[in-house]
């Protein structure tokens, strides 16, 4: 094997001999360092060695499987413990969230209750409690977000950004409330300005009888208005007097509209007024005074027919004014719990005074105010009157079924109804309540309790005047002041 290879056939012989002599040799290179051609074939393995090798391999595989199974069991156990811990933490967080929400609801209810009646100290405490609960909710939200696994590198920036966002979200509801309050204040200012203008016009018209003594009266009325604005947060006699002026103005407006519709329908106004007054006189105190009917059918001229019509409308509206619900039901809340009932009445007054009655009845047509409107409309506008004025009974049918028409005539009627309803709420919120009175027919004129609807020359009522018929009632207030009853005067002769 040490001789050199002389030719290719000699190389083949040497390789063949080497394979026959060393079939299990580990080395696969010959002495010359050339690669053995037996790499192209696989030698048959030794069975004994293979069996031992396979046994060792199987045992090693089993040990590795046992270790893997043990590691997987530990990992699964650790994972289950981690999930259980996370679940407990999440449950604990949710409990804290629910408790914070419940506490915030209770604080918010206290904040609402502090608005009416107005209690500054209670409102301050409730406001602090609401803010505290909102901040607690913000902290809980941050805890929840951190547990969701934020990237470590951007966590500080994320926490800072979220803290800023949470602060904005906490402040945002209060900013919205402040904006709403600012809008409400502006709306109230506009309403006050409008009412002051209307009242100034009323004062000018009522005081400017002959163009004299206007300044003194106007100065007194304007001083009263400033006092009313100062005490408007609580029921007061001055506020009641202002509400009564609104009733008179709205009643005059509705009477003018009704009178113009009668003219357009070619009514005999004098005959209509005499019929109204005769029926009214026979149904009231004149049932035992026959001469009063004669007075009612003869004293009203065509020029003053509006006063008789206004008297009829006012009498219908103020019928049942002394009862807390105008006798629409048998409620006795004013007797069972008078203090609470007074507070509720003034709250309703504040809530309703700036509302459009048409919109209110569109939302709540069957509320107490809606029932009051339906009852008074059916009492004032007779079906024959409506059919004569409008040619149909459409509005009467709608009111009878509990609906409220969207017509100009009914809107004017709602203006009077709202004014009387607000006056009624104020009357039952005052302590003591106003005492209503009405001048009787044929009574002597008393300037302390009566006011003539007809202006006389010189601005003074001449002697010998008596009450022809009452136009609107008067009230005695708890502070000693008097809202004068309006009357139509005639000469005694």
Structure tokens at 471: 């136009």
Cα-trace Rg, the chain: 49
390 falls within a domain:
no
Q: Give pTM, 2 decimals.
A: 0.54
- C-alpha distance from residue 115 to each of 109, 123, 291, 355, 483 (Å): 10, 7, 56, 19, 31
26 falls within a domain:
yes
Q: Give the domain extent around 12.
A: 8-41
pLDDT, mean of residues 301-323: 88
Q: How many CB atoms lie within 10 A of CB 150?
A: 15
* pLDDT level of residue 178 (50, 70, 90 thresholds): confident
Domain count, the chain: 1
> What is the predicted pLDDT for the residue at 223?
40
13 falls within a domain:
yes
Model confidence pLDDT, tens digit, residues 251-306: 999 999 999 999 999 988 888 877 766 665 555 544 334 344 344 444 556 567 88
Model confidence pLDDT, tens digit, residues 411-420: 999 999 999 9
Helix (H, G, I), strand (E, B) or coil at 444: strand
30 falls within a domain:
yes
* Calpha distance 346→348 (Å, rounded): 5
Does a cis peptide bond (omega within 30 degrees of 0) precede residue 436? Answer: no
% of the chain beyond a pLDDT of 90: 35
Model confidence pLDDT, tens digit, residues 51-70: 455 545 555 555 555 556 66
Adjacency order of strands within the sheet including 435-437: 435-437, 474-476, 482-483
* Calpha distance 348→187 (Å, rounded): 18
410 falls within a domain:
no
409 falls within a domain:
no
Angle between helices 237-264 and 269-283 (to 10 degrees): 130
The rounded Cα 183 to chain-centroid distance in angstroms is: 15
* Calpha distance 198→246 (Å, rounded): 9
> What is the predicted pLDDT for the residue at 154?
57
166 falls within a domain:
no
Region class of 213: left (phi > 0), else alpha (psi between -120 and 50), else beta: left
421 falls within a domain:
no
> What is the predicted pLDDT for the residue at 251?
95
């Amino acid at each position: 094997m040490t001789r050199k290879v002389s030719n290719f056939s000699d190389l083949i012989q040497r390789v063949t001999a080497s394979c026959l002599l060393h079939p299990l040799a580990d080395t696969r290179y010959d002495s010359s360092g050339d690669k053995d051609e037996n790499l192209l074939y696989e030698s048959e393995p030794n069975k004994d060695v293979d069996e031992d090798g396979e046994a060792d391999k199987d045992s090693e595989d089993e040990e590795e499987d046992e270790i893997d199974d043990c590691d997987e069991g530990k990992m699964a156990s650790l994972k289950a413990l981690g999930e259980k811990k996370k679940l407990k933490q999440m449950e604990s967080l949710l409990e804290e969230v629910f408790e914070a929400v419940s506490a915030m609801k209770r604080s918010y209810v206290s904040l609402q209750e502090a608005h009416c009646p107005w209690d500054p100290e209670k409102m301050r405490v409730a406001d602090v409690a609401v803010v505290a609960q909102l901040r607690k909710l913000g902290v809980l939200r941050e805890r929840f977000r951190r547990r969701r696994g934020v990237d470590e590198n951007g966590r500080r920036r994320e926490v800072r950004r979220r803290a800023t966002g949470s602060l904005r979200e906490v402040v945002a509801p209060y900013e919205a409330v402040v904006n709403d309050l600012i809008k409400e204040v502006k709306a109230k200012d506009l309403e006050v300005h409008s009412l002051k203008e209307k009242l100034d016009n009323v004062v000018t018209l009522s005081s400017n009888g002959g163009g004299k003594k206007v300044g003194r009266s106007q100065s007194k009325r304007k001083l009263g208005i400033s006092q009313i604005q100062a005490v408007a947060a609580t029921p007061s006699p001055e506020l009641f007097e202002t509400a009564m002026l609104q009733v008179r103005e709205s009643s005059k407006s509705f009477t003018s509209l009704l009178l113009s519709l009668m003219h357009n329908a070619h009514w005999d106004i004098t005959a209509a007024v005499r019929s109204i007054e005769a029926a009214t006189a026979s149904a009231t105190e004149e049932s035992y005074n026959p001469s009063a009917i004669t007075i009612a059918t003869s004293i009203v001229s065509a020029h003053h027919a509006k006063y008789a019509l206004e008297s009829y409308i006012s009498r219908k509206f103020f019928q049942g004014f002394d009862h807390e619900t105008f006798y629409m039901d048998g409620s006795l809340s004013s007797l069972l719990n008078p203090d609470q009932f007074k507070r509720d009445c003034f709250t309703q007054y504040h809530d309703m005074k700036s509302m459009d009655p048409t919109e209110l009845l569109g939302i709540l047509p069957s509320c107490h105010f809606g029932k009051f409107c339906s009852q008074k409309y059916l009492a004032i506008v007779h079906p024959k009157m409506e059919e004569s004025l409008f040619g149909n009974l459409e509005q009467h049918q709608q009111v009878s079924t509990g609906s409220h028409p969207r017509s100009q005539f009914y809107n004017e009627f709602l203006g009077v109804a709202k004014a009387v309803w607000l006056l009624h709420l104020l009357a039952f919120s005052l302590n003591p309540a106003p005492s209503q009175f009405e001048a009787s027919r044929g009574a002597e004129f008393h300037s302390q309790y009566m006011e003539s609807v007809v202006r006389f020359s010189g601005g003074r009522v001449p002697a010998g005047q008596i009450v022809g018929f009452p136009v609107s009632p008067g009230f005695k207030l708890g502070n000693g002041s008097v809202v004068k009853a309006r009357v139509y005067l005639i000469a005694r002769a």
